[in-house]
């Protein structure tokens, strides 16, 4: 037997053995019974839920700003003189009532000069009484009574009204009218040696001291009002649509106590292009027992309470996803619902689109999806 024949026989035997082995293996596999399979039901996940309640909800816009006195003035004298010592000295921290003298300058020289002017006016008018008696019938007695009432140390009374143009021209030609108005001007200037408070306020800066020379036009200090305040806040443009004039406002201190209440008084007509915010001015006053807590320059945080939305609900932003989506819990499953957001603050949103009594997911759930089986953990805790 040659080598070729031997090789062919070996190949045939190998193929036969391999085929027999495969056939036996398939037979054994077919004899094995398949195990029954069944889908394991998903266990509902316990979640926190809340019931939606519709009502009248007012949007609250968060704001912050510094307190500014509504009335503030720089005290400047219009005359020159030495500052006198007063019963209530003009010093930082001193409070003055409206109409009270804050600064009083030495007016001795101006007052004596005014007395001399009145004396000259009395002399001038006395010299004209005879002509007035003769030239103007019935007017001599009027002018005599006026001259008798003149006092050189008191302010001039108003001149009697001329009964005719001829009398008026007579008074003008004799220099009586010009002298009268010169004295009245000097009297007004003499009043400027006393600077009175135009409103109730407190001195926050004093640049003069008693005994020192105060020059005309020199800044003497700064007076700020008490009781009436304004807070300027920067409100983002997205909130402006819900804010209106006369909306109520309230401001809190660091402990969360309400220290001031008021209303929106003015709203800027433009938006800052760099910050996309507009200035809103709130007129406020201290709340009861908080008068000492409000001072010019203090920083406060607060909120603007605007007109309420009717038939609306308020939820935390953590309950929402994709801006306007929430999960309703119904029939043991999550159901995605789209709501209409009417107002959104830093932490909450006011919206519409859900019925009263609807149960919603009240937590941020990872990998939540529409149709996810859940059970209300809130109800279990209540039970």
Q: Which residues of the chain have a pLDDT value below 70?
A: 1-9, 11-14, 20-23, 26-42, 378-383
Q: Is 278 within 8 Å of 234 (Cβ atoms)? A: yes
> Can you give the three-state secondary structure of 69-109, one letter per residue?
ECCEEEEECCCCEEECCCCCCCCCCCEECCCCEEEEECCHH
Note the pLDDT of residue 74: 94
Note the pLDDT of residue 3: 64
* Selection from 193, 165, 203, 217 nearest residue 73 by Cα: 203
Predicted structure pTM score:
0.66
Q: How many whole angstroms separate alpha carbon 12 and alpha carbon 14? A: 5
Kindly list the structural domains of the chain, giving each domain's residue range(s) and its CATH number in brackets, ordered by start. Answer: 47-58+309-382 (2.40.420.20), 60-68+227-305 (2.40.30.170), 72-105+196-224 (2.40.50.100), 109-191 (no CATH)
Note the pLDDT of residue 5: 65
């Amino acid at each position: 037997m040659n080598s070729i024949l031997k090789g062919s026989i070996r190949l045939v035997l190998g193929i036969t053995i391999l085929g027999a082995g495969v056939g036996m293996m398939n037979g054994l596999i077919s004899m094995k019974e398949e195990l029954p399979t069944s889908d394991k039901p998903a266990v509902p996940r316990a979640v926190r839920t809340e019931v939606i309640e519709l009502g009248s909800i007012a949007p609250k816009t968060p704001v912050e700003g510094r307190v500014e006195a509504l009335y503030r003035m720089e005290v400047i004298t219009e005359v020159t003189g030495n500052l006198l010592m007063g019963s209530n000295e003009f010093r930082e921290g001193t409070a003055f009532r409206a109409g009270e003298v804050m600064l009083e300058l030495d007016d001795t020289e101006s007052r004596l000069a005014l007395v001399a002017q009145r004396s000259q006016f009395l002399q001038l008018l006395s010299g004209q009484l005879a002509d007035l008696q003769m030239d103007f019938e019935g007017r001599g007695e009027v002018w005599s009574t006026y001259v008798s009432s003149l006092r050189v140390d008191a302010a001039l009374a108003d001149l009697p009204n001329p009964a005719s143009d001829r009398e008026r021209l007579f008074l003008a030609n004799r220099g009586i009218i010009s002298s009268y108005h010169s004295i009245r001007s000097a009297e007004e200037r003499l009043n400027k040696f006393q600077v009175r408070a135009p409103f109730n306020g407190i001195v926050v800066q004093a640049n003069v001291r008693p005994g020192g020379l105060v020059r005309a036009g020199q800044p003497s200090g700064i007076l700020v009002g008490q009781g009436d305040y304004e807070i300027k806040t920067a409100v983002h443009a997205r909130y402006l649509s819900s804010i209106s004039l006369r909306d109520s406002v309230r401001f809190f201190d660091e402990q969360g106590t309400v220290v001031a209440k008021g209303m929106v008084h003015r709203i800027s007509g433009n938006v800052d292009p760099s910050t996309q915010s507009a200035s809103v001015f709130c007129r406020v006053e201290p709340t009861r027992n908080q008068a000492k807590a409000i001072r010019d320059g203090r920083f406060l945080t607060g909120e603007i309470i605007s007109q309420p939305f009717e038939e609306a609900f308020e939820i935390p932003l953590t309950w929402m996803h994709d801006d306007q989506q929430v999960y309703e819990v119904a029939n043991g499953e999550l159901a995605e619902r789209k709501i209409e957001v009417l107002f959104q603050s830093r932490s909450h949103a006011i919206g519409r689109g859900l019925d009263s009594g609807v149960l919603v997911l009240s937590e941020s759930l990872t990998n939540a999806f529409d149709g996810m089986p859940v059970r209300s953990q809130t109800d279990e805790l209540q039970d």
